[in-house]
């Protein structure tokens, strides 16, 4: 985006800004989610064990993702507020430190995950097919975690300086490349066609993913280096850490990181309980998670876009616009996510059948899909409120709400249902609604009581 274009979000129609900034993000994220769904559908043609392996790896991966969450949330507040206050030097410095600091943390996380990956799989299953598929897929993904984290940072820098179209184009290109490479690299003969592929199985799925992410990162990074954005990344600054900025990159987003860590640990416990019902149950949960993520993409895109608008308006000392942004964002989230929630609840068998590779649809999967619909609506409302905290940099309320809901409600409920009362798995699925409902309630209470409008970073 050329320097002379006014990228300020502190004036004009608020809802117009929300939609203009969020829509490109949503399009890119939705297409990325479409890839995730297509990827899961292709993996379903290999076997339910392959689906289960992907589900387990995703759980382990998101434990490392905590580092990305911490620095990522901090960077949104730092970059957007600095840009809103027209402090270009601080904006550049925050962007540069985000890139290098996150890369270093990702390298540490990837090393730890690589060492612990096989023991982690064995903790959940003794099925040799699941473990083999998981290691084939997971080790390739682990090596490229630093690039994966860095690609997020590149997109964040563009968005926080008012350019949502470039990240959208990068995400679209990445997703399209991924969808093309997936079947070619995975199968000897692509299912339903006579087209010959490489037949690399789960390794092919992983290679397709890391190739597309790497290309997207490389293009975006070069654009920033060449000054094709509101700010220019200075290469020499990528080799020097700044203690002051890096401290903020850790501390501002630390509550969000702890929030994600505790949420992921609750998922670890939940998935262990699901594993007691067999490999098929793990596979079904993996599909449900992808469907939920797809449905929530509009909400998450709106939260990201609204958070940037809130950050810039708080940086420009316009709290009334920040408050109105939260209200409008919540309404938009509910409307957009609600449509998909209705579809999931109405057509659970058809949606689940897309991922089973022609296999019969398990009844426990249908019952889970009917639970996902209400959870989507609750998640949409939480996204709208969450923009207030991410934009202001006051992330502790989200941490408190998450800890109370996950560990005070969801996990105890799941443990009681499975280990004490030994109920059918349909009762375990209700843990999603129990956890999300409690989190929304506490997040709303804290939103009303915390003085997030006065927070600055």
Burial of 317 (0-12, 13-18, 19+ CB in 10 A): exposed
Please report the pLDDT score of residue 357 as a whole number.
Answer: 66
The answer to whether 432 touches 372, Cβ cutoff 8 Å, is yes
Closest CA to 344 of 366, 377, 370, 365: 370
Which phi and psi angles does 227 have, rounded to 5°?
80, 25
The answer to whether 337 touches 377, Cβ cutoff 8 Å, is yes
Please report the pLDDT score of residue 6 as a whole number.
Answer: 41
Please report the pLDDT score of residue 2 as a whole number.
Answer: 40
Q: Where are the domains of the chain?
A: 14-454
Closest CA to 341 of 368, 369, 363: 369
Handedness of CA 216, 221, 224, 228 (dihedral sign): negative
The pTM assigned to this predicted structure is 0.80
The answer to whether 414 touches 269, Cβ cutoff 8 Å, is yes
Please report the pLDDT score of residue 105 as a whole number.
Answer: 95
Ordered mean pLDDT values, 10 residues apiece, the chain (457 residues)? 52 88 80 79 92 94 92 91 90 96 97 98 95 98 97 93 88 90 96 94 96 97 93 93 94 85 91 94 91 92 90 90 94 95 93 76 89 96 93 86 94 98 96 96 90 83
Please report the pLDDT score of residue 38 as a whole number.
Answer: 81
């Amino acid at each position: 985006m050329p320097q002379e274009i006014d990228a300020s979000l502190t004036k004009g129609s608020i809802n117009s800004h929300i939609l203009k900034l969020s829509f490109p993000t949503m399009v890119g994220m939705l297409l990325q989610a479409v890839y995730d769904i297509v990827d899961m559908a292709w993996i379903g043609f290999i076997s339910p064990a392959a689906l289960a392996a992907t589900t387990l790896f995703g759980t382990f991966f998101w434990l490392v993702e905590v580092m990305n969450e911490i620095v990522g949330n901090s960077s949104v507040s730092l970059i957007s507020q600095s840009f809103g206050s027209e402090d270009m030097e601080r904006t550049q410095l925050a962007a540069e430190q985000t890139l290098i600091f996150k890369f270093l943390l990702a390298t540490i996380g990837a090393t730890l995950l690589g060492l612990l990956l096989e023991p982690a799989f064995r903790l959940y299953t003794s099925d040799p097919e699941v473990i083999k598929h998981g290691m084939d897929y997971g080790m390739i993904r682990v090596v490229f975690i630093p690039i994966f984290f860095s690609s997020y940072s590149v997109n964040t820098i563009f968005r926080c300086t008012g350019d949502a179209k470039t990240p959208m184009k990068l995400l679209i290109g990445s997703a399209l490349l991924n969808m093309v490479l997936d079947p070619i690299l995975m199968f000897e003969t692509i299912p339903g066609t006579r087209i010959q592929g490489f037949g690399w199985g789960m390794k092919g799925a992983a290679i397709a993913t890391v190739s597309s992410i790497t290309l997207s990162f490389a293009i975006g990074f070069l654009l920033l280096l060449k000054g094709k954005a509101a700010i220019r990344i200075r290469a020499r600054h990528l080799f020097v850490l700044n203690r002051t900025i890096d401290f903020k990159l850790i501390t501002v987003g630390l509550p969000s990181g702890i929030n994600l860590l505790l949420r992921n640990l609750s998922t670890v416990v939940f998935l262990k309980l699901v594993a007691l019902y067999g490999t098929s149950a793990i596979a079904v949960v993996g599909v449900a998670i992808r469907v939920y993520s797809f449905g929530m993409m509009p909400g998450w895109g709106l939260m990201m876009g609204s958070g940037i608008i809130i950050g810039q308006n708080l940086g420009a000392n316009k709290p009334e616009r920040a408050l109105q942004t939260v209200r409008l964002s919540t309404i938009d989230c509910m409307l957009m996510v609600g449509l998909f929630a209705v579809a999931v609840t109405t057509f659970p068998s058809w949606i689940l059948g897309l991922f089973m590779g022609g296999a019969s649809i398990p009844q426990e999967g249908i019952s889970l899909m009917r639970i996902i619909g209400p959870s989507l609506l609750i998640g949409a409302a939480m996204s709208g409120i969450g923009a207030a905290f991410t934009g202001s940099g006051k992330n502790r309320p989200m941490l408190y709400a998450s800890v109370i809901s996950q560990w005070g409600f969801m996990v105890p409920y799941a443990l009681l249902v499975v280990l004490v009362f030994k109920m059918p798995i349909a009762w375990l699925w209700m843990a999603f609604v129990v956890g999300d409902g409690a989190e929304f309630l506490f997040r709303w209470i804290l939103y009303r009581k915390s003085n997030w409008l006065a927070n600055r970073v």
